[in-house]
Amino acid sequence: MGPVQAVIERTVSGLGYELVDVELAGRGLLRVTIDLPASAYLPDPARPADAMPPSVRVEDCEKVSHQLSHVLMVENIDYARLEVSSPGLDRPLKRATDYERFEGLEVALRLREPLSGRRNFEGVLVRDDLADPGGAVRWALELPDPKASKPRKPGAKVGKVAAAKEAARLQALKALRDGVLARAAAAQAASKEGASVAGASEEGASGRVPVGIAEHETAAPAQDADAVETVRRLSFTLDEVERARLVPKVKF
């Protein structure tokens, strides 16, 4: 799909749209998903307050379909039927620009193999604070943690025992994060040798998971500036989800 996708992306962007996905389905169906450029969704003072939000219209799909039909014929690209549509409610995240655009929104990700006994994860998309051994940007789904520590009241005194527990907890978090880094480095080394790596979560043994994708805990500021709460994250890089053939989707 490399050369074909390049032709389609060049055509779609030339018409002022953004290419979301290209799929060659059964019986020669070429499915193309388009969206408006990110700039179209920025606040516009000239837009009436009661106006409908920007979206891909039927006319947009027809325009792209007409132009693509001509280009694909000129490029001698074989297909039986062309389908152009909008992303819908579950927009797939495919490229780095997609992650940057939808950072801070809720995203769903289904793993092919269970991790910590589950396959389906939903959380807020954030940039992870774990450094990747290969230098890649790590992303994460910030997961709700029912066991998160409660923030203390502003100005409340902290006893020696409570302070010691908090220091021990933060030290444990650091050790936990170091463990994730060590496993990620080992997984990367093993993948270069063509080995299959089994992942494990911090809570114990889990099923086989894609290389490098793992859960970890981190400390995050609470609403009270003096407080710290624990959050769980599902951490990954774009390369890891692509190799595992996973597709995170925005939940609008």
Which domains are delineated in the chain? 2-88 (3.30.300), 96-251 (no CATH)
- The answer to whether the CB of 89 falls within 8 A of the CB of 18 is no
- β-strand partners of 218: 231
- Other C-beta atoms closer than 10 Å to the C-beta of 55 total 12
Residue type, 59: E
Residue type, 72: L
pLDDT of 27-80, one tens digit each?
Answer: 899 999 999 988 887 777 887 877 777 889 999 999 999 999 999 999 999 999
Helix, strand, or coil (residue 203): coil
CA distance 91 to 247: 10
Q: Which of 66, 46, 223, 214 is nearest to 143 (CA)?
A: 214
CA distance 105 to 9: 25
pLDDT of 195-234, one tens digit each?
Answer: 333 333 333 333 333 347 888 887 766 555 555 567 888 9
Residue 223 tokens read as: 């609403």
The alpha-helical segments, DSSP class H, found in the chain are 2-14, 58-74, 96-101, 160-192, 238-243
